[in-house]
Structure 1
Amino acid sequence: MNPLAPASPVVSVAPITVTTPDRTIPVRVTAPLSGDRLPLIVFSHGMTMTMNDYAPLAGFWAAHGFVVIQPTHLDSLGLAPDDPRAPLVWRLRTDDLTTALDNLDTIETTVPGLSGRVDHERIAVAGHSWGAQTASAVAGARVVTDGTPGESMTDSRVSAAVLLSLPGSGGPALSPMAIEHFPFMNPDFTDLKTPSLIIAGDHDHSPLTVRGPDWFTDGYHLAPGATDLLTLFGAEHGLGGIQGAHDTRTTDESPERVALVQRATAAYLLTALGVNEVAWQEFRKSLRETNDPLGRIDSK
């Protein structure tokens, strides 16, 4: 059983620029050509990626009724290591997502035919890898500094989250390399109360942690709002290649895994945002009834 409606034509427009007092943020918008009251996904890319990546996700989501906004974060725009903004680039990434929401009316009017069609009450954030940590901050997670959780960057406009290959707990779980270069990968999930789907690969061995692939499931176990965990069998960090053809680092290329991530994320968000109350239930049922499934779902 496929809980999703047939795909519809989409349009993708880039670059759209969102200007702040400090800088200009390039943005890509992908949206269905038709439909009204369209739910919105703001997506945060992983390290070295840009708004032009993750086309397998953005295109699929738009074809099934979502508007997708993809900013390119400062760390992918040639930020020099000695730039004074570099130590806080993790915070600037989070600001990019909230800035996109602050400028949603302007973004809508820039895309031909989109103005007035976005439902501002149905908003989700999503992200992959570092982008998942970025999105999790908007959903309620905090970064631990000096032993205590930092300020909350939760955005009340966000009603759901999809967190793909979400980095886990910091502290002793981090590798020496991560401690040196990514000390901000030290999340506190206590206040991540936004309904969230976590997706992890059971073969995702990361140089960021001294633990194994279970590190990427910490968000599910520790965040009150993480309602569901989809574990993909045999999947590594790219979850089969969700970054798209531009990223040649995918080591576990699998169109079947990518298709599963596409369907799972769309079904979860349709239900979490109140668009289709049974989409997630039907997807879970279909996965349970599949012979030789590619993954399993745990739910709280």
Structure 2
Amino acid sequence: MPRRRTAALSATVLLAVGLVGCSTGSDQRAAVADGTKSPTAAPTMTAPATTGQPFTPPAGVAPARSSAVGVRELQLNRDGKRPLPTTVWYPAVGMAGETPQRSARVAAGRFPVVVFSHGLTGRPADYAALLSRWAAAGFVVVAPTYPHTSKGAARFDVLDVINQPADASYVLTEVLKLDRRDDPLNGHLATDRVAAAGHSAGGVTTVGLFTARRDERLDAGIVLAGSALGVGTAFAGPTAPQLFVHGELDDVVSYASGKAAYDRVPWPKAMLSLPQGDHGQSLLRTGNRAFDVVVDTTVDFLRWSLYGDPAAKGRLASGVIQDGLANLDNRL
């Protein structure tokens, strides 16, 4: 068997073994809910990134206060063969702190876009507590349901994670088009300020958007309990700051594997570590202090990387140390 084909087969097997534990269910220990850019340009393959590339935060004004949140659904389908129903959370007119309202009127202003990828057997709704907080902070969050790794998929296939970076790029393209169409989001999308984020297998998908299938429209990334398994660490293209978040007691995607991917990032980066954190419960569920730390840290990272908010970077620079609850390795 040719060496290249053997290597590809080995990577596929490792991906299947490494990601199978990301599944969620009532009996799962992890309890996971498992320059100017053209907004519609297709992602391009680029040379590997090099260290020392400067990052200049965009010029923008971050919202001074939280907003109400609206939510809607988009029916997208890549190539007519990969259905990608997508949930969108966005800043809306109304009272902050209330339950997200279906099809609420979009708040005034232009907001950066974050494409979010769920974990195995997950769905966007599983992450509503986190993603609605991002929307309230001034971001349009778009979360596709992947066709072969989501809960209820007609044909579940863990190896399909490899195809998800292309899905995420497609969803991003379609959403950014809405800024110029007869749509409630028309005139409300900051199409030149875009990030990707994801949890578990969705974290792998997110890493892939900066490595194997680099989408150069992306300005920043957030990897929650993820790794580079199957997509590699050949980070490429323009500088894009990264934030990794990982529980040190994660028994699904090991802390060591997440840290290994983080160590290979050549750009400004930070890693939020939770000494008592597991794969999902402490990172993504309300009702515990760790969740609040994750929310505050991810919001500040997005405010700095997509709005250029210096106060947010200042809060990150102070690190996160709360009674041993979490700490931040800050290299931003």
| Structure-1-length-normalised TM-score | 0.76
Amino acid at match of 2:244: I
Query: Superposed, which structure 2 residues align to 1:103-182 within 5 Å?
Result: 103-107=174-178, 113-139=184-210, 141-142=211-212, 153-168=213-228
What CA RMSD, in Å, does the superposition of the two structures yield over aligned residues?
A: 2.5
> 1:186: Cα distance to partner?
3.2
Which residue of 218, 227, 235 corresponds with 2:269?
227
TM superposition outliers: structure 1 runs of 4+ over 4 Å: 105-112
| 1:141-169 residue CA offsets vs partner (Å, 9 max, x unmatched) | 23xxxxxxxxxx1001100000011125x
- Provide, for residues 260-297 of structure 1, a one-character-per-residue CA deviation record: whole Å limited to 9, x for no partner: 11110110111112331330322442735x5x142111
1:147 paired residue number: none
1:189 aligns with 2:233: yes
| Residues 1:261 and 2:261 aligned together | no
Does the 8 Å CA contact 2:193/2:306 hold for their aligned counterparts? yes
Q: Does 1:19 align with 2:19?
A: no
Higher strand content, 1 or 2: 1
Which AA in structure 1 matches 2:174? N
Structure 1's 239 and 162: CA in aligned 2 closer, same or farther, altered over 3 A? farther
Structure 1 contact 268–280 (Cα < 8 Å) conserved: yes
Cα 1:224–1:25, aligned 2, differ >3 Å: closer, same or farther? same
- Cα distance between partner residues in 2 of 1:111 and 1:259: 37
Give a deviation string over 1:108-148, Cα, whole Å, max 9, x none.
58996322101000000000000001011112x23xxxxxx
Aligned-partner Cα distance in 1 for 2:111–2:247: 30
Counterparts of 2:249 and 2:307, CA distance in 1: 33
Q: Structure 1 residues 198 and 239 mapped into 2: Cα distance closer, same or farther (>3 Å)?
A: farther
Distance 1:296 1:29, change over 3 A: same
Kept in 2: contact 1:220–1:229 (CA 8 A): yes
The secondary structure found in structure 2 opposite 1:52 is helix
Q: How does 1:1-300 map to 2 (within 5 A)?
A: 5-14=64-73, 16-21=74-79, 22-33=81-92, 34-75=107-148, 76=150, 77-80=152-155, 86=157, 89-107=160-178, 113-139=184-210, 141-142=211-212, 153-168=213-228, 185-191=229-235, 194-206=240-252, 213-225=255-267, 227-238=269-280, 240-242=282-284, 244=285, 255-285=288-318, 287-288=320-321, 290=322, 292-300=323-331
Report the counterpart of residue 182 of structure 1 in structure 2. none
Residue pair 2:83, 2:146 contacting (<8 A) in 1 also: no
Q: CA deviation at 1:188?
A: 2.0
8 A contact 1:124–1:160 mirrored in 2: yes
Which is bigger in relative contact order (C-alpha 8 A, separation at least 6)?
A: 2
Secondary structure at 1:113 match in 2: coil
Equivalent residue number for residue 56 of structure 2: none
Q: Structure 1 residues 273 and 113 mapped into 2: Cα distance closer, same or farther (>3 Å)?
A: same
- Residue 173 of structure 1 corresponds to which residue in structure 2? none
Partner SS, residue 199 of structure 1: strand
Identity of aligned residues (%): 25
Would you say the 8 A contact 1:267–1:279 is kept in 2? yes
SS in 1 for 2:84: strand
CA apart distance, 1:241: 4.9
**SS class of match (2:75):** strand
Residue type matched to 1:277 in 2? P
Match of 1:7, as an amino acid? S
- CA drift of 1:187 comes to 3.7
TM-fit CA distance, 1:223: 1.8
Q: Which runs of 5+ in 1 are unaligned?
A: 143-152, 169-184, 245-252
Q: How many equivalent residue pairs?
A: 251
* Counterpart amino acid of residue 60 in structure 1: R
